[in-house]
Amino acid sequence: MDTFDGIFAGEKKRLKAMKDSKVGSFGVQSIVFITLIQIACLLKIQTQIIFVLPICLFWGRFSNLFFIDQFNYISYKKKSISHKKCWNGFTKESLISIVFLIIFITYKCILLNSEQKLIKNLFLLLIGCFISYKIPNILGKKIGGFNGDACGASVVIVETAMLFIHAILL
């Protein structure tokens, strides 16, 4: 909610709006809109939730690796500890996530019984990769870097987008 308040506050007031503990109207609108989309998607994918949800959650969290790799940390305070201080680079940081993804996709492919479902799942994999890259990129450019609020927003937006795409394609 803070991220949406900051985005719509304008460039000069962005960090101040994100720091403010009060929720603004754009923050409320965003949480209501996102929650309604998520509920509708979960209702649509009921029987497939055990396969869809882990992938959506994966891409949401994976998006933060792109965020941290591409942007500098921005802070409300003058002196702040850099989140990149312990950053080992995208390749090292994403290795375990990619191994998990390969295992999960291999398991899912074994269960698939048609070529059409396999193609659809590979398409969803490409969409997930694209969305988890593009959303933090858009947010990072709009905000001018990343912080905890923006990372949280990236996770939620990517998860919601992936849920929505899965709901449409099921």
What 3-state DSSP class applies to 73?
A: strand
Q: What is the pTM of this model?
A: 0.84
Q: How far is CA 19 from CA 4, 34, 149, 156, 159, in A?
A: 12, 21, 9, 19, 24
Q: What pLDDT does 168 receive?
A: 93
Bridge partners (DSSP) of residue 73 are 146
- State the CB neighbour count (10 A cutoff) for residue 133: 18
Q: Quick one: pLDDT at residue 79?
A: 55
pLDDT tens digits, the chain, 170 residues: what are they? 877 777 777 777 777 777 777 787 788 888 999 999 999 999 999 988 988 898 899 999 999 999 888 888 887 665 555 666 777 888 888 898 889 888 887 887 777 777 877 788 888 889 999 999 999 999 889 888 888 888 888 999 999 999 999 999 87
Whether 7 and 144 have beta carbons less than 8 Å apart is answered as no
Classify residue 23 by burial, with Cβ atoms within 10 Å: 0-12, 13-18, 19+.
middle
* Per-residue model confidence (pLDDT) at position 130: 96
